[in-house]
Structure 1
Amino acid sequence: MSVPTDTALAHALDLLRRGQFAHARAVLEVCPPGPRVEILLAHAHAGCNRVHEAARLLCRQAHANPGARHPARDMLDLLLPHDRVEEAEAVLRAVRQRAGRDIRTHDMLGELLLQRGRTAEAQAVLADGLSLSPAQLTTGNLMAVCFMEQGEFAAGHDLLRYILNHHPDSAMTHANLAHLLAAWNRTDAALEAHGRALALRPDDPQLRMNHALTLLKTGRMDEGWDEYEWRHRLPGRLRLPSAGLLPVLEPDADLRGRSVLITREGGLGDMLMMLRFVPVLADMGARVYVQAPLTLHGLIRRMGCVRRVFDDRRPPPAHDWHCPFLSLPRALRRTAGHAGRSVPYLRAEPALVQYWAPFLPTGNGLRVGLVWGGASRPDVPAAHAMDRRRSIPLRALAPLAGMAAVNLVSLQMGTYATQMRDMPAGMRLYDPMESVRDMDDTAALIAGLDVVVSVDTAIAHLAGAMGCPVILLDRFDNCWRWLSGRTDSPWYPNLRIIRQLRAGQWDDVVRRLCSMLAARDLPPSATTARP
Structure 2
Amino acid sequence: MLADALGLLRQGQFAQARAVLESCTPSPDVELLLAHAHAGCNRVQEAARLLCRQAVANPGARHPARDMLDLLLPHERVDEAEAVLRAVRQRAGQDIRTHDMLGELLLQRGRTAEAHAVLTDGLSLSPAQLTTGNLMAVCLMEQGEYAAGRDLLLYILEHHPRSAMTHANLAHLLAGWNRTDESLAIHARALALRPDDANLRLNHALTLLKNGQMAQGWAEYEWRRKLPGRARLPAARTLPVLAPDADLRGRTIFITREGGLGDMLMMLRFVPVLAALGARVIVQAPDTLHGLIRRMDGVRRVFNDRQPVPFHDWHCPFLSLPHVLHRMPGHAGVAVPYLHADAGRVRAWAPFLPARPTLRVGLVWGGASRPDVPAAHAMDRRRSIPLRSLAPLAGMPGISLVSLQMGTYARQMMDMPAGMRLHDPMESVRDMDDTAALIAGLDVVVSVDTSVAHLAGALGCPVLLLDRFDNCWRWLSGRTDSPWYPTLRIIRQIRTGQWDDVVRRLCSMLAKRDLPPSRLPPAP
Query: Does the aligned pair in 1 maintain the 2:329–2:484 contact within 8 Å?
Result: no
Match of 1:413 among 406, 409, 413: 406
1:337 deviates by 9.8
Q: Quick one: distance in 1 between partners of 2:402 and 2:491?
A: 20
Q: Are residue 267 (structure 1) and residue 260 (structure 2) matched?
A: yes
Q: Corresponding residue for 1:99? A: 92
The verdict on how the C-alpha distance between 1:340 and 1:94 changes in structure 2, with shifts beyond 3 A counting, is: farther
Residues 251, 335 of structure 1: 8 Å contact kept: no
Q: What's the counterpart of residue 470 of structure 2?
A: 477
Q: Which amino acid aligns with 1:180?
A: L
Question: Among 502, 509, 515, which residue is 1:509 paired with?
Answer: 502
Q: How far apart are residue 252 of structure 1 and its match? A: 1.7
Residue in structure 1 matching 2:345, options 339, 352, 363: 352
Q: 1:5 maps to what in 2?
A: none
Query: Residue type matched to 1:299 in 2?
Result: L
Match of 2:38 among 31, 36, 45: 45
Q: Give the distance between the partners of 2:370 and 2:331, measured in 1 at CA.
A: 33
Alignment of 1:155-304 (within 5 A): 155-304=148-297
Alpha-carbon distance between aligned partners in 2 of 1:376 and 1:446, rounded to the nearest angstrom: 23
Number of aligned pairs?
A: 524
- Distance of 1:46 and 1:289 partners within structure 2: 49
- Equivalent-residue separation in structure 1 for 2:331 and 2:309 (angstroms): 26
Task: Answer whether contact 2:359 2:443 (CA < 8 A) is retained.
Answer: yes
What does residue 451 of structure 2 align with? 458
Distance in 2, matches of 1:318 and 1:38, equals: 53
Q: Are the counterparts in 2 of residues 467 and 526 from structure 1 also a CA contact under 8 Å?
A: yes
CA contact (8 A) 2:322 2:328 kept: no
Q: Deviations over 1:492-523 (max 9, x none)?
A: 11111111111111111111111111111110
Residue identity matched to 2:244: P
1:152 paired to 2:145: yes
Amino acid at match of 1:207: L
1:13 CA displacement: 1.4
Match of 1:34? 27
1:132 aligns with 2:94: no
Q: Does 1:85 align with 2:75?
A: no
Distance, in Å, in 1 between the alignment partners of 2:21 and 2:150 is: 47
Q: Which amino acid aligns with 2:343?
A: P
Q: Deviations over 1:474-497 (max 9, x none)?
A: 111111011111111110111111
Cα distance, 1:492–1:323 mapped onto 2, change above 3 Å? same
Matched residue type, 1:265: E
In 2, distance between residues paired with 1:239 and 1:366? Answer: 47
Question: Cα 1:306–1:354, aligned 2, differ >3 Å: closer, same or farther?
Answer: same
User: Take 1:371 and 1:432, find their aligned partners in 2: how far apart are those partners?
Assistant: 13
- Can you give the 5+ residue segments of structure 2 that lack an aligned partner in the other structure? none
Contact 2:284 2:302 in 1 (8 A): yes
1:174 maps to amino acid: H
Q: Secondary structure at the match of 1:307?
A: strand
Secondary structure in 1 matching 2:299: coil
Alpha carbons 1:450, 1:530 under 8 Å: kept = no
In structure 2, what is the Cα distance between the partners aligned to 1:527 and 1:409? 18
**1:250, 1:334 within 8 Å by CA — same for their partners in 2?**
no
Distance apart, 1:31 and its partner CA: 2.4
> For residues 297-316 of structure 1, what are the structure 2 equivalents within 5 Å?
297-316=290-309
The offset of 1:338, in angstroms, is 6.0
> How far off is 1:27 after superposition?
2.2
Q: What is the aligned partner in structure 2 of residue 388 from structure 1? A: 381
Match of 2:370 among 370, 377, 386: 377
Alpha-carbon distance between aligned partners in 1 of 2:92 and 2:234, rounded to the nearest angstrom? 48
- Counterpart of 1:384 in structure 2: which amino acid? H
2:438 corresponds in structure 1 to 445
Give 1:242 deviation, angstroms.
Answer: 1.9
- Tell me, yes or no, if the aligned pair for 2:329 and 2:483 is still in contact at 8 Å: no
In the TM superposition, what are the counterparts of 1:9-28 in structure 2 within 5 Å? 9-28=2-21
Could you tell me how far apart the structure 2 residues matched to 1:336 and 1:444 are? 25
- Cα displacement (A) at 1:334: 6.5
Question: Aligned partners of 1:206 and 1:40: how far apart in 2?
Answer: 32
Write the distance in 2 (CA, Å) between the matches of 1:197 and 1:338: 33
- 1:67 to 1:340, Cα distance in 2 relative to 1, 3 A: farther
What SS does the aligned partner of 1:199 have? helix
2: distance between equivalents of 1:403 and 1:529?
26
The answer to whether residue 416 in structure 2 is matched with residue 423 in structure 1 is: yes
Give the TM-score normalised by the residue count of structure 1: 0.97
Secondary structure class of the residue paired with 1:424? coil
Task: State the shift of 1:326 in Å.
Answer: 0.3
Instruction: State the superposition RMSD in angstroms.
Output: 1.4
Structure 1 gaps, min length 5: 1-7
After superposition, the C-alpha distances for 1:444-482 in whole angstroms (9 at most, x for unaligned) are: 000000011111100000000000011111111111011
- CA distance in structure 2 between the aligned counterparts of 1:238 and 1:510, rounded to whole angstroms: 43
Shift of 1:243: 2.0
Q: CA 1:444–1:168 in structure 2 vs 1: closer, same or farther (change >3 Å)? A: same
| SS at structure 1 position matched to 2:401 | strand
Deviations 1:186-243 (A, max 9, x none): 0111001111111111111000000000000011111101111111111112211222
Name the SS of the counterpart of 1:256 in structure 2. Answer: coil
Deviation at 1:341, TM superposition (A): 2.2
1:362 to 348, 355, 379: 355
**Amino acid of the residue matched to residue 435 of structure 1?**
S
Secondary structure of 1:260's counterpart equals strand
CA distance, structure 1, for counterparts of residue 459 and residue 437 of structure 2: 10
1:60 equivalent in structure 2: 53
Q: Which amino acid aligns with 1:491?
A: W
What are the Cα deviations for residues 293-325 of structure 1, in whole angstroms up to 9, with x where unaligned? 110000001114211111111111011111110
State the secondary structure of the residue aligned to 2:474: helix
Q: Distance in 1 between matches of 2:327 and 2:361?
A: 39
Report the Cα offset of residue 423 of structure 1.
1.0
Question: Does the 8 Å CA contact 1:452/1:471 hold for their aligned counterparts?
Answer: yes
Note closer, same or farther for the CA distance 1:436–1:40 as it changes in structure 2 (3 Å cut): same
- 1:3 maps to none
Is the 1:55–1:92 Cα contact (8 Å) retained in structure 2?
Answer: yes
**Maintained 8 Å contact 2:214/2:328:** no
Following the alignment from structure 1 to structure 2, what is the Cα–Cα distance between the partners of residues 22 and 403? Answer: 56
1:18-59, Cα deviation, whole Å (9 max, x unpaired)? 111122222222322222221111111111111111111110
1:97–1:339 distance in 2 versus 1, CA, 3 Å: farther
CA contact (8 A) 1:332 1:338 kept: no
